[in-house]
Structure 1
Amino acid sequence: MLSIYNENEWLYPDTEVNKNTHAHLHTAQNAYIGFQCILDPQEKFKLCHIQMNWEVEQPIETEVFYLESITVDENTDLEFMTTLDYERCKTFVTRQAPFKVYDCLIPWEKVESYEKRIPLYIQFKVGEGTVGEVRGILKLFIEDESKQQKIVEIVIKLQVYDKRLPEQKDQKLGMMNFFCYDNIIKNHGVTLNSKAYWALYRLYVRRQLEMHCTHIMLPYAKSIRNEKNEVVDFDFTEVIKAGEIALEEGAPFIVGACIAHWGEWNDKGYYLLWEPSIAAESLEGYYQLKKYFCKWQSIVDEKGWNRRIMQSLADEPQVYNALSYRAIASVFRKCVPGVNIIEAVETFNLGGGIDIWVPKQDTYEKHREKFQEIQDAGEQMWYYTCAFPAGKIMNRSMDLPLLVSRYILWMVFYYGLSGFLHWGFNYYIGEDLYHEACCPHKGKKLPAGDAHIIYPGEKDVYRSMRYIAQRAGAQDYELFKALPCIQQEQVRRWMQKLCPSFKVYNTEVEQFESIRKLILES
C-alpha cells in the first residue's frame, strides 16, 4: 500500500510499488530535505489529516504535497527544440513522449479528490539546533468513500550533520530566473495593479527567494507618448512597486529589465523594446535610452537603491551585435554610473560592457579559457541554460533525469563560478501547461518545462519537483563553499565521478546519495 522513493528520481502514474515504508534522509541544519511516496490502496481514498511525531521535540517544519501529473507532449530533440521521433533522442531522455510525470506540488489540503493512487512529496525544513540522528513517525489519515478511516505510518530516520546552511543574506551563490509579469494576469485572472495582482507578485517573489534566487528581475517602464505617438517620457510606477516588494521580502538585489533586443539571432544591431523601428545604436536610440536611464537613475537615487540594484540591457549579446551592445552599455554607464551590468552572453568580446558575465553552458565549455581569463581579471562569471542546445546536456527539461536539475547547481561550484541564470521562471505561453508541458515558440516547441519551473494555482503558486531539485542544488553549493579549500578540491574530485561536464553525468541515485553523504561527512 505504501512505497517510499528518493526525491531525486521521477515518479510516474505507472511507477512500480517498492513496498519501502522507511525514509532515511541526510541533511544539514537550516535546510530543506524530503522524499516522495505513493499510497496505493486500490480504491478511492482521500487524505484528511497528517500528524508528525518526533521522538524528541525538534525545530523541524513538515509539509505534505500532492503530486499532480503533467503531460510531456514531445521529447527534447537531439540538437534543437523538441521531436516526436523517439529514435533521435532515446539515448538520453527518460521516456517516449507523450507521457505523464509527477512534477507539480499542490498542498495536500487543496486537493479535493484523488485517483486510486495518491502520490505525495513530504518536505522537512530542519531548523538550527538539530544535530545527530532524529527519529519520528509521520501518520497519514485517509478515508474511503464510506468515510471509513485508515492510518498509514511512515518511519522517518533523519541524520542531521553539524553543518549549517547560511542565511540568504550570507549565501555565496548568485541566481536569477527571468520573470513574466503579464503571466500574473493571464494565469490568475487578476487585474494589473490590483491588490490581488500585487499579493500574487509578492508570493512569486517568495517562491524565487526560497529557491535561492538572489536577483529579482523587474519589469521595464512603460513609454508615455504625445498626440503624434512620439515617446516623450517613461512611467516607472510598476517598476518601483515591484522593486519595493522584492526588497521588503528580503531580495538581496533587484535587476532592471532589458530595454532592447535583436530580431534574429545573427542581426548586427538591437532595437528598442518600446519602439522596434528604432535601432538602439542610432542617434534617436541614444536620445531615448538617455531619457530612460536618466529617469531610472533619479529613482534609484531617491529610493536609495544604489547598492541593491543591477541592470540587464539587451539579452544574449553575441559576436554579430557586440558593437551595438557596447553602444547601449556606454549610454547606461554615462547615465547610471556605479551600477553593475549582468547579462546572458554568447561572446567574450564585450569587455567594459559587462560586470557579471553569464555565458550559456555550452558556450562556456567551448570558450572556457577565454572566460577564465575574464574571471582572472576580477570579473564575476555565472552560466545559464535555455532551450538551445538540446540533446544530452544539462537543463531543467522534464524528460531528462530529475537529478540533472540538481547537478545544474553543482556545476557552478565544479567550474569555480558564482551564479546561475535561467530565463523561464513563469514564462509559459501555451493554453494548458498541465497537459502540454512543451511551450510553443516561433512555430516550434520548447523542451518540456523550459519556460517554467512553477505552476499557477488559485491564489497560489505551486512548486515543481524540478524546483525542489534546483533548490537542493543551491543548498549543496552553499555547503561546498563553506568547506576549507583543500576539502573543496576533494569535493570536485568526487564530482568527477558524477558530473565531469555539462554533457557527461551519472544519474544513478544511489551513487549520487553515497557521494553526497561523503561530502556531508567531510
Structure 2
Amino acid sequence: MKEKIRYGKVTQAEEFLFPDSELGVLPDKLRLAAAKNGRRGIQLLLPTLGEKAVCTFSSGDFTAEWYGMRAVPVEYNTGNGVAQGGGMVLMDPVEEKPPYAIRKAPFQVYDCLMPRPEGVVEAKDGRAAIYLCLVPGENIREGTCQAEVRVALEEGECRLLLEIEVYGVRIPEEEFQITNWFSIPAICRFHKTGQGEPAFWEVLKKYIALMRRARQTCFYIQLDKACVAGTDPYRFDFSYLKEMISLFFDSGMKYLEIGPLLSRGFREDGSPDMFTGTFRCMAAPEVDLDSWEGYEITVRFIRALADFLRENGWDDKVMVHIHDEPDIHVDSEKTLESRKRQYYLTASILRKYLPRVRIIEAVSTSGFRGGIDIWVPGTAGYEADREGFLRLTDLGEEVWNYVCCGPQGFWLNRFLDFALIKNRLLFWGCEANRLTGFLHWGFNQFPEGMDPFQATSCPNDTGLGTNFPCGDSFLVYPGTGKEAWPGMRLEAQRRGAEDAELLKLLRKKDRTLHDKLMGRLFISNEKYCDDPQVMEEVYEELLRALS
C-alpha cells in the first residue's frame, strides 16, 4: 500500500489558493452541504516532486469533474476609486497591501481551470493544484452521502473522505438574468480561426457552454459596419448574424441583446470621443444623429434590424442597447441634456418599428426615465441613487446591476486581487435589492496584444486613466486547440446565481428568515461579510430552511 500523504491544503470554501499558499496537515474528512442539483467544488494543493497527480473518485451519488488549476499573474493592485477612469490600478509599486486586497501585487493566483476529464493533473513547481467539481446524479436522495477522493503522487497517495449533506431542495431553473459580453476577435485570434469558418463554430460552442454552465441567460451581439450593404442610399443586411444567434438560442439562452444603435464618434487620434454631446450613427460614425442624413440612416438601420428580427421570430426575445452608459463621462449639464434628447429620439424610432422591444442600458442614475425598460446601474450608482431605483422597482420596472473597471476599493467586484467570495456576494446584493439581472462586460475581452497568461490587466484605449484592474476584462481563458477554459471566478458566479434563486424562494416562504440570513452576509455593495466560513454556515442554513 502506498504511503498516505497527510500534508497539503484542501478547501471547499469560496476562496482563492496560490502557488505559495501555506500548507498544513490535511483532514481525514471534509463535510459539505449541497442542494439536490447543486455542484459543490473542492480545491486541493499537494506538494510533490513528481510530474503529475492521478485523481480518482468513488461515490454512488456523485460523479467528478477534474481540473488542473493554473496560476495567472496579478501585476497590479486595484485602486480605491468609484468612477471609471483615473487610478484604476496602482501603477507604482506599493509598500503595503491595500486593505481591500487579498495580497500585495505582484503575485500569482489560481484562477484558470484546465479540464482534465481523466483525472490526470500536471504538477508545476513542486505542487499539484487540483479542482474537483461534484456533479450529483439525477436521482440523488436527500440525506448524507459518502464519497472518497484519492490522489496518487510519486511520494504516495492522498485519501480524503467526503461527507455530503444533500438537502431536499432543488435550485430552480434560471429566472435571474445574466449577461457576460464576449469577444469574437479574441476567439479568432487565440484559436487561429476566422469568423464563420467550421473551426470557429466549434470553438464558439465551447465558450457558449461555459456561459450556460454559469447560468448565463442573455447574449450580446455587438453591431458594427459589417451590416452595411450599401451607402447610396444606406442599406443594411443582418442575415450574416442568423447562424450565430440561432446557435445561442439553441443552447438554451433566453434573450438576445443587440446594439449599439449610436456611436460616440472618434477624436483625431482615433480614440473614442468619451465626453461628446453629439451622438453619431453606429454604422456611419462620422454622421451626426441630429442631421437629416443621420436621421435617415438611423431609420433605415432600425427598420432593417426590425425586419430581420421579425423574420426569424426573435422580435419578442430581444433587448436593444441604444448607447452604453449615456449618463457617464459627462462634463456638463448641457451635454447630458443633449444626449438625453438624442437618446429619446432613437428610442422613439426603435419602438415605432419594433414595438415589442425592450431597451436595456448601463447607466449611473435613474435620470433617463421613459427611455429605458431595463435599467442596469453600476453598483456604486445604484447605492448613490437607491431611492430612485427603488421607486422604479416599485413601479414594476426591471432593474439589474453591473460592475466593470469600477467601483474599486472596498466595493464588491470581480478583480483578481479581491477575495473570490466577492464575486458570489454580488448576487446576494442583487437579491437583497430585488434586482432581476446582472451584467458584466468582460467574458473574454482580450484586446490585440493581451494574453491573460502573461498579464491580466487589460489595456485601456479610452484615454481616461490607467489600465483596467487585473481580471476585469475576462472570466474565462483561451484553452489549447479548440478548448475554452473556465475560471474560479466563473464558478463563483455560478454559485452566486444559484444562491440568488434559492434566496428568492426563501423570500416567498419566510421573509423574516430571508432577511436574517441576508443580513449576516450583505448590507450593501460596500458593507458585507467576506468570511468564506460564514458563507458556508449561512448557505447550509438556507438549504435547511428550504428543505
With the length of structure 1 as denominator, give the TM-score of the two structures.
0.92
**3-state DSSP class of the match of 2:196?**
coil
Tell me if 1:34 matches 2:41: yes
Counterpart in the other structure of 1:271: 280
Shift in alpha-carbon separation, 1:34–1:438, aligned structure 2, 3 A: same
Instruction: Find the partner of 2:58 among 44, 53, 59.
Output: 53
- Structure 2 residue identity aligned to 1:81: M
Distance 2:276 2:96 in 1: 31
Counterpart in the other structure of 1:447: 469
Deviation of 1:113 after TM superposition, in Å, equals 5.5
Percent identity over the alignment is 28
Distance 1:206 1:281 in 2: 42
Tell me if 1:139 matches 2:145: no
Counterpart in the other structure of 1:333: 351
- Is the contact between residue 72 and residue 448 of structure 1 (CA under 8 Å) also seen in structure 2? yes
Counterpart in the other structure of 1:463: 486
- Is the contact between residue 8 and residue 25 of structure 2 (CA under 8 Å) also seen in structure 1? yes
Deviation of 1:207 after TM superposition, in Å, equals 1.1
Shift in alpha-carbon separation, 1:370–1:448, aligned structure 2, 3 A: same
What is the correspondence of 1:204-353 to structure 2 with a 5 Å cutoff?
A: 204-220=207-223, 222-224=226-228, 226=230, 232-262=234-264, 263-318=272-327, 320=336, 321-353=339-371
Deviation of 1:308 after TM superposition, in Å, equals 2.1
Encode CA deviations 1:143-174: one digit per residue, 9 max, x unaligned.
x4xxxx8433221111111000123xxx2201
- Is the contact between residue 378 and residue 401 of structure 2 (CA under 8 Å) also seen in structure 1? yes
Distance 2:440 2:317 in 1: 21
Counterpart in the other structure of 2:205: 202
Shift in alpha-carbon separation, 1:466–1:372, aligned structure 2, 3 A: same
- Is the contact between residue 62 and residue 124 of structure 1 (CA under 8 Å) also seen in structure 2? yes
Q: Which runs of 5+ in 2 are unaligned?
A: 1-6, 82-86, 265-271, 328-332
- Is the contact between residue 13 and residue 536 of structure 2 (CA under 8 Å) also seen in structure 1? no
Deviation of 1:7 after TM superposition, in Å, equals 3.8
The worse-fitting range, judged by mean Cα deviation, of 490-499 and 237-246 is: 490-499
Distance 2:303 2:70 in 1: 47
Q: Which runs of 5+ in 1 are unaligned?
A: none
With the length of structure 2 as denominator, give the TM-score of the two structures.
0.88
Tell me if 1:186 matches 2:189: yes
Shift in alpha-carbon separation, 1:351–1:113, aligned structure 2, 3 A: same
- Is the contact between residue 72 and residue 436 of structure 1 (CA under 8 Å) also seen in structure 2? yes
Shift in alpha-carbon separation, 1:248–1:87, aligned structure 2, 3 A: same
- Structure 2 residue identity aligned to 1:432: D
Counterpart in the other structure of 1:17: 23
Counterpart in the other structure of 1:153: 159
Deviation of 1:466 after TM superposition, in Å, equals 0.6
- Is the contact between residue 23 and residue 35 of structure 1 (CA under 8 Å) also seen in structure 2? no
**3-state DSSP class of the match of 1:218?**
strand
- Structure 1 residue identity aligned to 2:206: L
Deviation of 1:231 after TM superposition, in Å, equals 6.8
Encode CA deviations 1:252-298: one digit per residue, 9 max, x unaligned.
11111323233444322322333221223432222122222211211
Encode CA deviations 1:35-81: one digit per residue, 9 max, x unaligned.
1111112x123124x32212xx22x3311111100100111011141
Encode CA deviations 1:431-467: one digit per residue, 9 max, x unaligned.
3211211111136211111000000112111111111
Distance 1:111 1:259 in 2: 47
Distance 1:134 1:231 in 2: 68
- Structure 2 residue identity aligned to 1:182: P
Distance 1:306 1:437 in 2: 38
- Is the contact between residue 35 and residue 122 of structure 1 (CA under 8 Å) also seen in structure 2? yes
Counterpart in the other structure of 1:437: 456
- Is the contact between residue 36 and residue 166 of structure 2 (CA under 8 Å) also seen in structure 1? yes
Distance 1:102 1:81 in 2: 22
Distance 1:309 1:512 in 2: 36
Encode CA deviations 1:83-120: one digit per residue, 9 max, x unaligned.
03536861111111111011000013586563310011
- Is the contact between residue 507 and residue 514 of structure 2 (CA under 8 Å) also seen in structure 1? no
Shift in alpha-carbon separation, 1:304–1:120, aligned structure 2, 3 A: same
**3-state DSSP class of the match of 2:375?**
strand
The alignment's C-alpha RMSD in Å is 2.0
- Structure 2 residue identity aligned to 1:279: D
Tell me if 1:384 matches 2:388: no
Distance 2:289 2:181 in 1: 22
Distance 1:496 1:230 in 2: 60
Instruction: Find the partner of 2:168 among 158, 162, 172.
Output: 162
Instruction: Find the partner of 2:179 among 173, 176, 179.
Output: 176
The worse-fitting range, judged by mean Cα deviation, of 29-38 and 300-309 is: 300-309
Counterpart in the other structure of 2:515: 492
Distance 1:63 1:440 in 2: 34
Deviation of 1:186 after TM superposition, in Å, equals 1.5
- Is the contact between residue 224 and residue 231 of structure 1 (CA under 8 Å) also seen in structure 2? no
- Structure 1 residue identity aligned to 2:439: L
The worse-fitting range, judged by mean Cα deviation, of 433-442 and 212-221 is: 212-221
What is the correspondence of 1:363-378 to structure 2 with a 5 Å cutoff?
A: 363-378=381-396
Distance 2:97 2:291 in 1: 45
- Is the contact between residue 206 and residue 484 of structure 2 (CA under 8 Å) also seen in structure 1? yes
Shift in alpha-carbon separation, 1:452–1:231, aligned structure 2, 3 A: farther
- Structure 2 residue identity aligned to 1:498: L
- Is the contact between residue 217 and residue 254 of structure 1 (CA under 8 Å) also seen in structure 2? yes
Deviation of 1:336 after TM superposition, in Å, equals 1.2
Tell me if 1:428 matches 2:435: no
Counterpart in the other structure of 2:4: none
Counterpart in the other structure of 1:117: 127
Tell me if 1:90 matches 2:98: yes
Shift in alpha-carbon separation, 1:159–1:231, aligned structure 2, 3 A: farther
User: Which structure shows the higher strand fraction?
Assistant: 1
Distance 1:159 1:261 in 2: 53
Instruction: Find the partner of 1:509 among 532, 539, 544.
Output: 532
